[in-house]
Amino acid sequence: MTTPLHITVLRGGPSAEREVSLRSGAAVAQALRSLGHQVDEVDPIPGDLQIPAGTQVVFLALHGTYGEDGTVQSELEELGLPYTGCGVSASLYAFDKILTKRRCLKAGVPSARFERFIDASAPWPNGWKPPVVLKPTRQGSSVGLQFVDRIEDFPSALAESLGHGGEVLMEERIVGRETTVGILDGSPLPVVEVRPKSGSYDYANKYTAGRTEYFCPADFEAAVTAQIQQAALAAFHAVGGRDYARVDVMVQPDGSPVVLEVNTLPGMTETSLLPKAAAAAGIPFPQLCERMVQLALRRQPTRQ
């Protein structure tokens, strides 16, 4: 029996991932209401966060800047309110792809070689060969993602990627199978394999119905599955994660995993990747949302 709570779901926000966040928040709110909770939905304004009186816990369904970079987490801690997901420092580290890389390398987590760029006129770096991937350091949902297969395409790709935040991570492009691993309460969920029907797993293929196939549990040998999950969990710990997250991992042809990034507030529609993995582990969507709420409540006191 679920004890009814007064929950505020934060959704929307100011980031480039606003539309995805609105969908996540609507799905979470509906799921929590189905369990008997009183749910308010708030589209937050940075610097003027208004939480309805009587709120016992805040469910963060935000993505991207403000919601996923430690800012709203800091504001909620000042208010003394418990909230779902990772804390301030883990959010900050995980949202910054370069900080994540450094943390992973220090912890021995398998990660791709990388360079950092802040200047659109920067030349192709010595000692590198295509193909490479360019990513804005502090964006999610594949916003600004660029693939470079020829050196002559580098300047325009770099300029495009830099247009989404002013700092870019360049990585060697790992060839293999694309997977993601949900982490829930310190344990890895079943591995999800992502297979776009054409091209790469970019923003359009992520959010356009029918353009990507998903397989969960992914079809790997048990030993390879364990390696993928262990690498994901190690990355989660490397950034100081708590409660839950989703870790993207490439699997090379020899079965060895390479961690790409840690998503501290992953998509939360019923068809998003973390809920898919939870469903494969026998956790329906409403119960997943409830579990996230309970993890928050056990950690922090409510506002006095």
Whole-angstrom Cα Rg for the chain:
19
* Residue 261 falls in the annotated catalytic set: yes
Say whether pLDDT at 44 is over 90: yes
DSSP string, 266-303: ---STTSHHHHHHHHTT--HHHHHHHHHHHHHHHSPPP
Q: What is the percent of the chain with per-residue pLDDT over 90, rounded to a whole number? A: 84
Residue 82 near residue 293, CB atoms below 8 Å: no
What is the rounded distance in angstroms from the CA atom of residue 172 to the CA atom of residue 193?
21
Q: Which of 11, 17, 66, 242 is catalytic?
A: 17
Note the pLDDT tens digit of each residue in 190-249.
999 999 776 655 555 555 566 789 999 999 999 999 999 999 999 999 999 999 999 999
Q: What contacts 208, CB < 8 A, 6 or more positions away?
A: none
Quick one: pLDDT at residue 242?
Answer: 97
**Torsions phi, psi for 118 (to 5 deg):** -130, -5
* Residue 141 falls in the annotated catalytic set: yes
Note the pLDDT tens digit of each residue in 59-99.
999 999 999 999 999 999 999 999 999 999 999 999 999 99
Note the pLDDT tens digit of each residue in 271-289.
899 999 999 999 999 999 9
Q: Which long-range contacts (CB under 8 A, 24 or more apart) does 204-213 make?
A: 206/141, 206/142, 207/20, 207/141
Say whether pLDDT at 1 is over 70: no
Q: What is the percent of the chain with per-residue pLDDT over 70, rounded to a whole number? A: 93
What is the rounded distance in angstroms from the CA atom of residue 251 to the CA atom of residue 232?
12
Reported as a pLDDT band with limits 50, 70 and 90, residue 304 is: very low
Token readout for 209 is 């119905």
Quick one: pLDDT at residue 302?
Answer: 42
């403000």: which residue's tokens?
66
* Residue 165 falls in the annotated catalytic set: no
Token readout for 292 is 């996230």
Average pLDDT, the chain: 92
Say whether pLDDT at 157 is over 80: yes
Q: Which of 15, 24, 141, 205 is catalytic?
A: 141
Q: Which of 23, 103, 242, 246 is catalytic?
A: 246
Q: Which of 74, 207, 256, 291 is catalytic?
A: 207
Token readout for 197 is 């029907």
* Residue 203 falls in the annotated catalytic set: no
| CA nearest neighbour of 182 among 218, 137, 145, 223 | 218
* Residue 267 falls in the annotated catalytic set: yes
| CA nearest neighbour of 115 among 137, 95, 93, 94 | 137
What is the rounded distance in angstroms from the CA atom of residue 182 to the CA atom of residue 266?
9
Q: Which of 87, 263, 272, 290 is catalytic?
A: 263
- Which domains occur in the chain, in start order? 6-84+285-299 (3.40.50.20), 93-110+176-264 (3.30.470.20), 114-172 (3.30.1490.20)
3-state percent breakdown (helix, strand, coil) of the chain, nearest 5: 35, 25, 45
Note the pLDDT tens digit of each residue in 3-17.
899 999 999 999 988
Q: Which of 68, 96, 178, 261 is catalytic?
A: 261
Strand, coil or helix: 92: helix
Token readout for 269 is 């529609």
When mean pLDDT is compared across 83-87, 115-119, 144-148, the lowest value belongs to 144-148
Quick one: pLDDT at residue 303?
Answer: 40
* Residue 15 falls in the annotated catalytic set: no
DSSP string, 110-149: -B--EEEE--TTPPPPTT--S-EEEEETT--TTTT-EEES
